[in-house]
Amino acid sequence: MTTTMTETINAAAIYRLTDLETNKFCGWLVKSNSSSKYYHIHCYKVGSELLWTCTCKAGQHGFKNCKRGHCCHVAAVIEVEEAKAEARRQAKAEAAAAIAEAERQLAAERKQRKPRRKIAQPEVPAEQGGSDGGKEVSLTGEPFPGRRTTGRKRAKAFAGFERDLAPLGPQTGFSLLK
């Protein structure tokens, strides 16, 4: 009795095996064309070469009589993995194109926006011989008029104001620092 090897696999699914304890990849399971058996396929990378193993008869004999150098079970796994890799490449390219399109739209929106106008600060005329002693007076009560300050600078400035106000005595309901 002679057995003939088929070129393709008729299995509806190829199962990818992972160890539940370590979550490591263990190989693939492929159903046989002629029986209800499942064959275990594994791939080893040695240097730049891939070495395939299968628990079928052809794999047990080192794929000696196989035309392609491996059995139909290994060919099915290779085909499925190549299809998955192509799908990943395509999804990555589509995502990159979508990101590029979104960036182009954002750049176009930014170009269409009107630039922000600067609001002119009202100038306070300096009093001649006034009570401020020739110092700059802030209308907004900022410690450093016309400049943005960090929290540390602001705290130092308020501490200085509070220190200067201390000789005046306690003030009810008013505190610069909490």
For residue 87, is it within any domain? Answer: yes
The whole-number pLDDT of residue 109 equals 87
For residue 164, is it within any domain? Answer: no
For residue 176, is it within any domain? Answer: no
What pTM does this model have? 0.53
For residue 166, is it within any domain? Answer: no
Q: Are 57 and 90 in contact (CB under 8 A)?
A: no
Q: Are 86 and 52 in contact (CB under 8 A)?
A: no
For residue 64, is it within any domain? Answer: yes
Q: Are 13 and 20 in contact (CB under 8 A)?
A: no
Q: How many structural domains comprise the chain? A: 1
Q: Which domain holds residue 47?
A: 14-91
- Ranges 41-45, 98-102, 139-143: which has the least confidence: 139-143
The whole-number pLDDT of residue 40 equals 93
How does pLDDT run across 156-169, given as a tens digit for each residue? 665 655 555 555 55
Residue 84's pLDDT band (boundaries 50, 70, 90)? very high
For residue 31, is it within any domain? Answer: yes
Among the ranges 26-30, 60-64, 88-92, 116-120, which has the highest mean pLDDT value?
88-92
Q: Is the pLDDT of residue 2 over 80?
A: no
First-to-last alpha carbon distance for the chain, in angstroms, is 97
Q: How many CB atoms lie within 10 A of CB 41?
A: 24
The whole-number pLDDT of residue 1 equals 42
Three-state DSSP class for residue 49: strand
